[in-house]
Amino acid sequence: MKIVIVTGGSRGLGASTAIECARKGMGVIITYNSNLEKADEVVRTIVENGGQAVALKLDVGDVGSFAGFHEAVAAQLRFVWRRGDFDYLVNNAGYGLFNPIASVTEEQFDGLFNVHLKGPFFLTQIMLPLMADGGQIINITSATSRVATAGIAPYAAFKGGLEVLTRYMAKEFGDRRIRANSIAPGAIRTELAGGLNDEFEMMLAGQTALGRVGEPEEIGGVVASLLSGENRWINAQNIEVAGGYII
């Protein structure tokens, strides 16, 4: 059984990714920051459908906590799966902030940077020795790094940086046959930055070729598919999954 770690797996894209990966027969480790109840719901959904999953606490914005997380993952791998390694890492955890450049504070900037770029960089670094050769890393980026939308400059900039980092991961980890790709969602109906109100959703739908916003499972399904052996020759790519957003 392949084992995947999905950060931010208690809700939204992360929860859908975890559930879709379990449907493809993977063992799942999800992380949550504060909402244990939601994380337990995801685990319960997977287990009730015949899968295996555990939830571990992780603040992706706190690099100092990563060593403890590494040890917790190693313990669960031994206890649940009788393994000393895992196969896939999905760097998904994140949050949104709508604020024009002129009023973004240093604290807001640093918070977004820590979660969306610094965190994935150092989490991947510390988990790499525990990842099996031939594994895969998927970083969740954003279509906002391609299309400038007023009010989300730091978020988009760090997602763009994560897209670049993905290519470097593919380059540097290739000798271990570890692939690295990124998925760039467009407008998705999630709780990110408070979710979508009707007016905002209509505007986004009008900017999308398919005439609607996406659903979380439409991203989770792509991630699960990319992790499968069917797509083993895809590497170092940023794949936009956005229904044709501003084309």
State how far the Cα of 176 lies from the Cα of 192, in Å rounded to an integer. Answer: 35
What is the per-residue pLDDT for 137? 98
**What is the pTM (predicted TM-score) of this model?**
0.96
What gap in Å lies between CA 24 and CA 47, rounded to an integer? Answer: 13
Give the burial class of 118: count Cβ atoms within 10 A of its Cβ; 0-12 exposed, 13-18 middle, 19 or more buried.
Answer: middle
Per-residue pLDDT of the chain (247 residues; tens, 9 = 90+): 999 999 999 999 999 999 999 999 999 999 999 999 999 999 999 999 999 999 999 999 999 999 999 999 999 999 999 999 999 999 999 999 999 999 999 999 999 999 999 999 999 999 999 999 999 999 999 999 999 888 999 999 999 999 999 999 999 999 999 999 999 999 888 765 455 678 878 888 898 999 999 999 999 999 999 998 889 999 999 999 999 998 9
In angstroms, rounded to a whole number, what is the distance separating the alpha carbons of residues 25 and 238? 25
Quick one: pLDDT at residue 195?
58
Query: Considering only the top CATH level, what class is 3-241?
Result: alpha beta
* Angle of CA points 179, 163, 122, to nearest 5°: 75
Q: CA triplet 221, 224, 227: central angle to 5 degrees?
A: 150
27 with 3: CB under 8 angstroms? yes
Q: Provide the residue ranges of all domains of the chain, joining segments of one domain with +.
A: 3-241
**Catalytic machinery residues:** 155
> pLDDT tens digit string along 145-158?
999 888 999 999 99
